[in-house]
Each structure stands twice: as C-alpha cells, then as structure tokens.
Amino acid sequence: LRCLEKEPADRYPSADALAHDMERFLAGEPIEATRPSTRERLLRSLRRRPAPFATLAVLLVAGLLAIAVPVHRAARSYFAQASTPTQAPPPRSATPDSAP
C-alpha cells in the first residue's frame, strides 16, 4: 500500500523502486516497504474520524472528574476534621458533689 499513500514523500521514490519491491515479493523475499506503525495508523484514523475520538476524550475526562471530585471532597473533609481541636472534658472536682 506504500504506492497508494496520500503524501508523496511516503510513496515509492520511483517506478523502479516499486518494480524492485514487486520482484522481491514474487521471489518470496522480504519487501522493503514496511507497514505503518500503530501510532501512524491511529493518527490517520484520528484525522479521518475526529468525532468518535473527541467523544471518547470527553467521556474519559468526565469519568476522571466523576472519580476525582468525590475523592477530593472526602479528603478535604477528613483533613478538616482532623485539624480541628477536640474539646477536653470538663475537669472533675476532687470532692464529690453532694446532692441535697
């Protein structure tokens, strides 16, 4: 598929190079053209269909926020309670109170 690439720089440089690769293919030898990497295929797909990727990105951010906000609030509440001083119980007198 190298000969069908959109960008001229990604195609075979000449018809001779294509013919050489075809001869190698027919002889059962490895060809010089390589498959696009996973990254290249993902970027092409992203350029061709941006809407599904944008939707996926929005859902991912919303999911992360749905987890992060409650965790942040719980942590803030926990640390607020931990930092407030507790009241000491009233001092007990040494003599018992007598009830009349």
The predicted-structure confidence for 34-88, as pLDDT tens digits, reads as follows 777 889 888 888 988 999 999 999 999 999 999 999 999 999 998 888 777 666 6
- Quote the pTM value: 0.46
- Contacts of residue 10, defined as CB under 8 A and 6 or more positions apart, other chains included, come to 2
How far apart, in whole angstroms, are the C-alpha atoms of residue 61 and residue 16? 50
Distance CA 3, CA 80 (A): 65
Give me the residue label for tokens 């001229």: 8
The residue to which tokens 């490895």 are assigned: 30
- Angle, vertex CA 16, rays to CA 13 and CA 19, nearest 5: 115
